Amino acid sequence: MRIHLFLKVSLVFLAMDACESCEPEDLLDIECQSQKAEDISAAEDAADFFRQGAINDENLSEEEFEETIADINSTLEDTKRRIRDRPCN
């Protein structure tokens, strides 16, 4: 928890250095966009994990494999859209 808080504070200071004329609201938006990028990256990592599981599953037929990959990709795109559309408060 302390490391996470330290990283968030560090990000704010880095954003302040990069954006000398920004308002505090802009800095919060930068942090929010950074968090969204992290969340999208985590979703992509999870999708890769599930894709690899499907690739390694010898019991899936070709059709089941294709359906599974399509479901994973569809879920990933929906998740990424929800993350991007999430408001920054």
pLDDT of residue 65: 94
Question: Residue 11 is inside which H or E element, if any?
Answer: helix 2-18
Structure tokens at 78: 């929906």
pLDDT in tens, 24-37: 565 567 788 888 89
* Structure confidence at residue 49 (pLDDT): 95
SS3 content of the chain, % helix, strand, coil (to 5): 85, 0, 15
Q: How far is it, in rounded angstroms, from Cα 70 to Cα 33?
A: 28
| Low-confidence spans in the chain with pLDDT less than 70 | 1-28, 89
pTM, full prediction: 0.66
Does residue 35 contact residue 50 with C-beta atoms inside 8 Å? no
